[in-house]
Amino acid sequence: MESSKHKIDTAQWVDRYADYLFNYAITRVNDTYIAEELVQETFVAGLKSMKNFKGEATERTWLTSILKRKIIDQYRKNNSKKGQAEVRMDYSNAADQEGDWLEEQVEDNTTMNAESHLENKELGLAIEICLEKLPLKQAEIFKQKTILEQETETICKEHDITASNLWVIIHRARVQLMQCLQDDWFKN
């Protein structure tokens, strides 16, 4: 009878699986910090539950299934906080006043007027100007991923970078774009 225990080489996990797991996580949570945390939690959970590994799948597949559950838990945690958004925005005495709930104050996109269209056009131009201020490679990668919605693997091959590096570049571009927009567009 074959033993149900299979040897797991935990010392090699980071070298073998960290990049793969990070890439898997980042495409689902779109936040570098959260993706890194989820990968770390996956490794810890894997260490704690090594006795449950039956060898029916590869270590990578097994760790990925743990990561999937961590990602689901992350979404559940985020969604449980959504009820906190229902906070009164106006503390006036008029109890029957409409529009004092956060959800009621969000603009209805179906009723955009000429002024809204002009503001959107101006914002688009401001973004283009801010993109031109980014380093060339950073701007190109940002456009490919966020505007042209190209696949991570395609962009990485074209620029000879890792997926982790791609997400760092995207994050830095977003930070710089937001700062540029705050400085040049939102102040007006």
Q: Which domain holds residue 73?
A: 10-81
Q: Establish if 94 belongs to a structural domain.
A: no
Within-domain flag for 3: no
Residue after which a domain boundary falls, among 28, 56, 81: 81
pLDDT above 70 for 178: yes
Residues 77 and 136 in one domain: no
Among 38, 55, 81, the domain boundary falls at 81
In a domain, residue 93? The reply is no
Phi, psi torsion values for 101, nearest 5 degrees: -95, 145
Q: What is the CATH number of the domain that holds 142?
A: 1.10.10.10
pLDDT at res. 150: 85
My answer on whether 180 and 120 are in the same domain is yes
Q: What is the pLDDT of residues 20-66, one digit of tens each?
A: 999 888 888 888 899 999 999 998 988 888 888 888 888 898 899 89
| Closest C-alpha among 9, 122, 107, 25 to residue 66 | 25
Q: Are residues 121 and 174 in the same domain?
A: yes
Q: Could you tell me which residues come within 8 angstroms of residue 51 by beta carbon, excluding any fewer than 6 positions away?
A: 5
Total domains present in the chain: 2
For 88-141, how does the pLDDT look when each residue is reduced to its tens digit (9 = 90+)?
334 444 444 444 444 344 444 444 555 555 566 777 778 888 889 999 999 999
For the chain, where are the alpha helices, taking DSSP H only? Answer: 13-29, 32-48, 59-80, 114-133, 136-142, 152-159, 163-181
Q: At what angle do helices 152-159 and 163-181 cross, to 10 degrees?
A: 100
Residue 17's nearest CA partner among 52, 63, 69 is 63
Which CATH number is 32's domain given? Answer: 1.10.1740
DSSP states of 54-76: -SSS-HHHHHHHHHHHHHHHHHH
Q: Which helix (H) or strand (E) holds 11?
A: none
